[in-house]
Amino acid sequence: MPQPGSATVRSRVRIPLTFPDGYRAEAEVFTFHGLEDGAEHVALALGTVPDGGTPLVRLHSECLTGDVFGSDRCDCGPQLRESVELISEAGGYLLYLRQEGRGIGLYNKLDAYALQDSGLDTYDANIALGLPEDGRDYTAAAQMLATLGIDGIDLLSNNPDKAAQLAGLGVIVRRRVPTGVHLSASNVRYLTAKVERTGHSIELSRLVG
């Protein structure tokens, strides 16, 4: 895989975060020039990495329905909340990537939801729309990490493709740390499909038991 070009920090600003359950964290938010896909991705620095330690990093794809409106059709909102707390404790970065709907965009994601209501799983719904199962590319994430001076990470993710893509882009993934199982009656089919179709490290027994 070709190595990404260089990017630069455009700005940095401190933002206090407060979640609906009352959890609070302090983030330093970085914006960038020169990201390969031209999207407005941001990196949130959280906590302090111990001397000689490895930063804990999550690549979180934007999800308006889950992150903002609290939709139970996915586990994105709870993963975002969990990630901020875990990274604040360990020290590291949350990369918030503008990749709505695994890269297909908001309107297409909502179209895919309608197809899921008729019985398709989350991946087959994308295919039925003539779109990729997962259209995400993590080149910009690798650029962001390099710009922040990070070459090795602990990756907070259940998704093996994130680790594989980052490794191919020159990022050393020392270990993959799974997120929790954020199960609801509305997302059990979605989570099961992630395990069965793309090998996510989620305990199926927690979903169907």
Give the catalytic positions in this structure. Answer: 134, 136
Instruction: Say if residues 136 and 99 touch (Cβ distance below 8 Å).
Output: yes
Question: Alpha-carbon distance 183 to 185, whole Å?
Answer: 7
Name which of 72, 92, 78 is nearest 173 in CA terms.
92
Tokens matching residue 28: 């330093």
Give 94's strand partners: 44, 58
- Count of alpha carbons within 13 angstroms of residue 200, beta-carbon side: 21
Instruction: Measure the CA dihedral 12/18/24/29, to 10°.
Output: -10
Question: Alpha-carbon distance 159 to 163, whole Å?
Answer: 7
Instruction: Say if residues 133 and 200 touch (Cβ distance below 8 Å).
Output: no
Phi/psi for 11 (5° steps) reads -160, 165
Tokens matching residue 118: 């008729």
β-pairing, 8-18 vs 152-156, is: unpaired
